[in-house]
Amino acid sequence: MAVQPQRGKPTLVLLHGWGLNHAVWQQIIPFFQQNYQVLTPDLPGFGLNQQCPSPYTLSAVAAQLAPQIPSQSLVLGWSLGGLIATRLALDFPDKVKALALVASSPCFLAKAGWPGMEERVLSQFATSLSKDLALTVERFLAIQALGSETARQDIKTLKQAVLSLPLPQAEALAGGLQLLAHHDLRAELAELRMPLAGCFGRLDSLVPVSMLELFRQLCPAADITVLPKASHAPFISHQTEFVQWLQHWAEKAA
């Protein structure tokens, strides 16, 4: 069933990343509930969303989420969620009034002339998934906090979010890694017509800020912010700065 916007309130949609669920947003939702209808859907196969498309393709994931998103929403995607939010904006442009990417890239894998994750890292995670799902997710959470001054607390917060809901389905975890490894939306991102913004951590080891110069060439009108002491989860490690950025973006976009 399609979700309808609340009268008088713009809709703010927050999409989580790989291995997590909607609980990662619980600390920042209170800052926005008064002025926005805040929606935090679980990606297919994660959290409370146990329905997994097969095969687990980017278009299929976007299509499954689309009915949950009212038209003209402000859509933010973190990490893998940013890749999915971009696909949503491409396939369902009426749903996305403005798009924000947090610690996310249109192309996560390193390519010639494009900084990103090494293929061997994703391959190692894919291999270890079959051996120990929970441990693999925990290791990935640790990488997300690398570089942060509050890394230990950040990992604890992320882990609490994972454990507060059912563990992700193995099919969704494997499928999500495939999305990160194989999708390159750079050319399509450059064709988007809605406003685009991004928030990145300078210390992020998964989405290196060295990518941003090329990102700006692709999307010169994009409004890019870099938090100098943040890593891959700035809404957890630097909540105050992140909330200020998100409030500014949402007010401007709405």
DSSP 207: S
Asked whether 31 and 235 are in contact (CB, 8 A), the reply is no
- Distance in angstroms (rounded) separating the CA atoms of residues 83 and 64: 15
Residue 216 dihedral angles phi and psi, to the nearest 5°: -65, -30
Amino acid letter, 235: F
Does residue 79 have an active-site annotation? yes
Owner of token pair 């997994």: 52
CB atoms within 10 A of CB 147: 17
- Catalytically annotated residue among 42, 232, 237, 238: 232
Asked whether 106 and 214 are in contact (CB, 8 A), the reply is no
Does residue 204 have an active-site annotation? yes
E strand or H helix at 216: helix 212-218
- Distance in angstroms (rounded) separating the CA atoms of residues 134 and 215: 34
Does residue 238 have an active-site annotation? no
| Tokens linked to 3 | 């979700």
**HSE-CB for 67 with a 13 A CA cutoff:** 5
- Distance in angstroms (rounded) separating the CA atoms of residues 251 and 109: 33
DSSP 117: B
Asked whether 82 and 101 are in contact (CB, 8 A), the reply is yes
- Distance in angstroms (rounded) separating the CA atoms of residues 188 and 89: 10
- Catalytically annotated residue among 79, 105, 148, 231: 79
- Catalytically annotated residue among 148, 154, 183, 204: 204
- The residues that are catalytic are 79, 204, 232
